[in-house]
Amino acid sequence: MAKENQSIVTEFILQGLSSQPRTQAVLFLVFLLFYLLTIVGNIMVIAVIRADYQLQSPMYFFLANLSFLDICYVSSNIPQMLVNLLTKKGTISFSRCAAQMYFSLAFGMTECFLLGVMAYDRYMAICHPLLYTTVMNRKACIHMVMASWASSLLSSTVVNSLTLHLPFCGPHTLNHYFCEVPAVLALACADTALLELVIFIFSILIACIPFLLIIISYAYILSTILKMQSVHVKSKAFSTCGCHLIVVTIFYGTAICMYMNPKSRSPQDRGKVIAVFYTIVTPTLNPLIYSLRIKDMKRALRRAMNRPKCLFI
């Protein structure tokens, strides 16, 4: 009977962030602005890094990949949300929901790995400068990025396959603004204890291990910076590390709160607000944080504005 009920699921209804028409209109404008800022800001970061020869270093290679990832991340959920706010239908087909759940989870996992890799890059640059160019060579950097993507896509495949094979007997109303594993899992009419355990294990492996790498890296970085004599070098080190720590705090803090507890014992509305931060706010803030706080990026942006054609070469 469960399988029969599961087979007739053709769409889900997304409750969104509000059911009030005026609030929905405001949310549409706000999230459209966030989406445009994210796309434009991250494309600008990628273009500036690619065009400026002074930014051809591992740190900016990872930053360009992070910007590309953020574009993919917001594009996996915001367009559908904008359509639902505009049409006020709030429905999404089962296949679209499955695709959205897969890609949003995969992109989120990849961001976890990339932030960990970026912390390791800063550790090597500051704590082992003589070995930096040898260890963090072009080939190694590409392999790190490829490993981040591959492991995330594979992990998302496992989690989503298990989730989508559960029976959904109704109602098919998701208390969320996009299809996310914890929200879809809450609609299953079967024992989800095993899947919750799987999600918890993946949360440990994909979120907490890179987070632990970040903490260890910055413990060594802080110890090294405090021993430096040059105020200028200290300032530059704190500048690049400070940007990364701000992004890590916003993204990891909110993501861990959500995925370390799939059933979300906290109120669902609170869960939706948490999701807004790591799926929408963080990708929008990333280019602003890195562009405004890192002096090399600011200088490159000024050079790009003086020579606008270089962005399109």
Tell me: cis bond preceding 171? Omega within 30 of 0 counts: yes
- How crowded is residue 68: how many other Cβ atoms within 10 Å of its Cβ? 15
pLDDT over 60 (residue 310) = no
Helices then strands, counting H and E runs in the chain, come out as 14, 3
- Tokens representing 231 are 């105020």
pLDDT tens-place string over residues 7-22: 467 788 888 777 787 8
Give the 3-state secondary structure of residue 13. strand
In angstroms, rounded to a whole number, what is the distance separating the alpha carbons of residues 29 and 82? 9
Nearest alpha carbon to residue 259 among 132, 140, 129, 111: 111
Among the ranges given (21-35, 120-134, 183-197), the one the predictor scored with the smallest mean pLDDT: 183-197
pLDDT computed for residue 265 by the predictor: 44
pLDDT over 60 (residue 76) = yes
pLDDT bin (cut points 50, 70, 90) of residue 183 is confident
Please report, for the chain, the start and end positions of each structural domain, with discontinuous segments joined by +. 2-312
pLDDT computed for residue 269 by the predictor: 61
- The fraction of the chain above a pLDDT of 90, given in percent, is 24
pLDDT over 70 (residue 148) = yes
The torsion angles phi and psi of 25, rounded to 5 degrees, stand at: -65, -40
| CATH of the structural domain 2-312, one choice from 1.20.1070.10, 1.10.8.60, 3.30.565.10, 2.40.50.100 | 1.20.1070.10
Q: What pTM, to 2 d.p., does this model score?
A: 0.83
Q: How far is CA 186 from the centre of its chain?
A: 23
Give the mean pLDDT of the chain.
Answer: 81
pLDDT tens-place string over residues 80-118: 888 888 887 778 888 888 999 999 889 988 998 999 999
Mean pLDDT of 146-162: 91
What string of DSSP letters covers 55-106?
Answer: G-SHHHHHHHHHHHHHHHHHHTTHHHHHHHHHH---EEEHHHHHHHHHHHHH
pLDDT bin (cut points 50, 70, 90) of residue 174 is confident
Alpha-carbon distances, residue 30 vs 141, 143, 239, 281, 283 (angstroms): 36, 37, 30, 11, 15
Is 259 or 134 the better-scoring residue by pLDDT?
134
Mean pLDDT of 253-261: 63
- Cα four-point dihedral sign 52, 58, 60, 63: positive
- The fraction of the chain above a pLDDT of 70, given in percent, is 85
pLDDT tens-place string over residues 208-246: 888 899 999 999 998 888 888 777 777 777 777 777 788
Alpha-carbon distances, residue 250 vs 42, 101, 295 (angstroms): 17, 21, 22
Identity at 218, one-letter amino acid code:
Y
- Cα four-point dihedral sign 273, 278, 284, 287: positive
- Cα four-point dihedral sign 29, 30, 36, 40: positive
55: exposed, middle or buried (C-beta count within 10 Å: 0-12, 13-18, 19+)? buried
The torsion angles phi and psi of 10, rounded to 5 degrees, stand at: -110, -20
